[in-house]
Amino acid sequence: MEVVRNIELTVIVPYLIIYFGMAVLFGGLKDVAGTPIAGGLTVGLLYALLMFPITWGTVLLYTYLRGKERR
């Protein structure tokens, strides 16, 4: 259980900060997103969902390999 908690703190929190920050950044760019905030949040959140399987696939692989290494 301790490993899961460490993964939550070291991976999930930065992931949320980065991708929601990107959503806000896209929200500030009118030319990219269309409307300042609503369109930008949509673009940023869609990007976060697109990156979700890649990010968590990497996390699961890393966790699996670390667990194997400790045995």
Domain extent listing, the chain: 2-70
Q: How many CB atoms sit inside 10 A of residue 18's CB?
A: 13
Under 8 Å between Cβ of 26 and 44: yes
CA distance 43 to 59: 24
- The pLDDT of residue 52 is 73
Token couple for 36: 């300042």
pLDDT of res. 46: 73
Q: What values do phi and psi take at 30, rounded to 5?
A: -65, -40
Q: Which amino acid, residue 29?
A: L
Query: Residue 71: what pLDDT?
Result: 66
User: Does pTM surpass 0.75?
Assistant: no
pLDDT in tens, the chain (71 residues): 566 666 666 777 777 777 777 766 666 665 554 555 555 566 667 777 777 777 777 877 887 887 777 76
